Amino acid sequence: MLTLLSFVVALGILIAVHEYGHYRVAVACGIKVLKFSVGFGRPVYTWRLKNRPTEFSIGMLPLGGYVKMLDEREDPVDPAERHLAFNNQPLRVRAAVVAAGPAANLLLAVLLYAIVNWGGLQEPQAVLASPVAGSIAERAGLRGGERVQQAAFDDEAWHDVRSFEDLRWRLTQAALNGRDVRLQVTDSGTDSAPVRSVLLPLGQLNAADADAQMFRKIGILGPWTQAAIGEVMPGGAAEKSGLRSGDVVLQIGNLTIVDGQQLRETIRASAAAPGGLPQTWQILRAGQALALPVTPEIKREGGQSVGRIGAYVGAPPALVMVRHGPLDGLWNGAVRTWEVSLLTLKMMGKMLIGEASLKNLSGPLTIADYAGKSASLGWSAYLLFLALISVSLGVLNLLPLPVLDGGHLMYYLWEAVTGKSVSDAWMDRLQRGGVAILLGMMSVALFNDISRLLG
């Protein structure tokens, strides 16, 4: 229920803001707006504002919206109102009205990021877990437990790293842009230890690696956590072995376990060991050392066999409050919106030319799932989710596809260059092509959604 409600609320907010951008600029430019609708289909509720010609409505299907303006190309217009029709406006006005929808989504993202920045967010400290074996991080000399203080792209200036999420964002930017990253770290996890510099050559990653496994290739999957057992699932390998919530794992066989990430990787890799053989786990329970035989279960995930014990692994990471002042928070919101927009465009471009997998496309099922998960984590996580989707919606609508706002802007660019509008025949052909492309993208996204759910 929470997933459905949070998804509908998210769609309603983002669509309403997008359409309000069109509406507000149209009214400001003296264009008569006949109808403003959030949702399609039969209206659930309609109303009018005093002394306004616009009918506002909420449709039954919350999967879009529209603003209907007075336009001679659609219906006959009273000669006395011809100056209020959209099609009779100067080119710059028409372009401004069309661009206002995506711009409203981008401005909403700036505001949402700023609100989170102002309110503050508890984020994991930038202390690294054990790197994945054979990964870029391990080859660079990281072993786990290092606190990251600063990061820089290539030879650019250093920037403070305030949390693990901050670090993760910088690594994402570097990987997608093919740039190396330098880190200033302290080995003991405290600020008083000597600082050393580590180079992560992320420029060697292929653009096609920008997928769900990207951070496994980099080797930095999460912040440092204690190697503790969390909630134990009934009937799982952990319960059968006698493990309990709160147990701290010290050793598996002859391997000393130093953190939760190493414990997860060790369990995962147990699928490569001879099946059915128990492992001897040395654990600490309420200050008492115990030895337990544990036999992980073998599961198939993503086409490969992995070990699972049926329990949450790793204690919650240490958190730090990240909060910004009024101007700093707003500026950071604008910067984050710009950076996410660029990364979205670059990812779309890489998918278009085959340098990135189409599996990165997500549809309504994945968005609904993330909406529910973010809402369950609190208002800050939900606002960040809204901001990300708002950026995606703004950028998507600016693509030069005829059925989108960007397609109309493309028509206006042609008109500005040639001095004449696109012919009706060409308009019809382009619209059909745009619909075909959009339906293709939606089909791939929906297929990816179903694959993720079934996988």
pLDDT digits (tens, 9 = 90+) for 124-174: 999 998 898 889 999 999 988 899 999 998 878 898 999 998 898 888 888
Question: CA angle at residue 263 from 257 to 265, to 5 degrees?
Answer: 125
CATH number for position 277: 2.30.42.10
- Name the domain boundary from 316, 343, 365: 316
pLDDT, position 387: 92
Do 380 and 255 reside in the same domain of the chain? Answer: no
The reply to whether 418 falls in a domain is: yes
Tokens found for residue 31: 């264009």
Mean pLDDT for all residues in the chain: 85
Decide which of 316, 348, 365 is a domain's last residue.
Answer: 316
Phi, psi angles (nearest 5°) of residue 297: -85, 150
Same domain, 295 and 342: no
Q: Active site residue: 19, 123, 146, 265, which one?
A: 19
Q: In 10 A of CB 41, how many CB atoms?
A: 11
**pTM tops 0.85, yes or no:** no
**Domain count along the chain:** 4
Pick the more confident residue, 228 or 433: 228
Does residue 444 sit in the same domain as residue 344? yes
Is the residue at 16 inside a domain? no
Mark whether 172 and 147 lie in a shared domain: yes
Given 256, 287, 316, the domain boundary residue is 316
* pLDDT at site 97: 95
pLDDT exceeds cutoff 60 at 275: no
Cα within 13 Å of Cα(116), Cβ side: 23
361 lies in a domain?
yes
- Please name which of 377, 363, 346, 318 lies closest in space to residue 116, comparing C-alpha atoms: 377
CA quadruple 435, 438, 440, 442: dihedral sign: negative
Shared-domain flag, residues 329 and 303: no
* Residue at 224 is within a domain: no
Q: How far apart are CA 447 and CA 436, in angstroms?
A: 16
CA angle, 252 then 254 then 260, to 5°? 35
Q: Are both 423 and 402 inside the same structural domain?
A: yes
Q: Which residue has the higher pLDDT, 67 or 187?
A: 67
Residue 23 in domain: no
Domain that holds residue 71: 30-87
**165 is an active site residue:** no
Same domain? 186 vs 171: yes
Contacts of 126 (CB under 8 A, 6+ apart): 147, 148, 149, 161, 162, 163, 164, 166, 167, 223
Q: If you count them, how many residues does the chain have?
A: 455
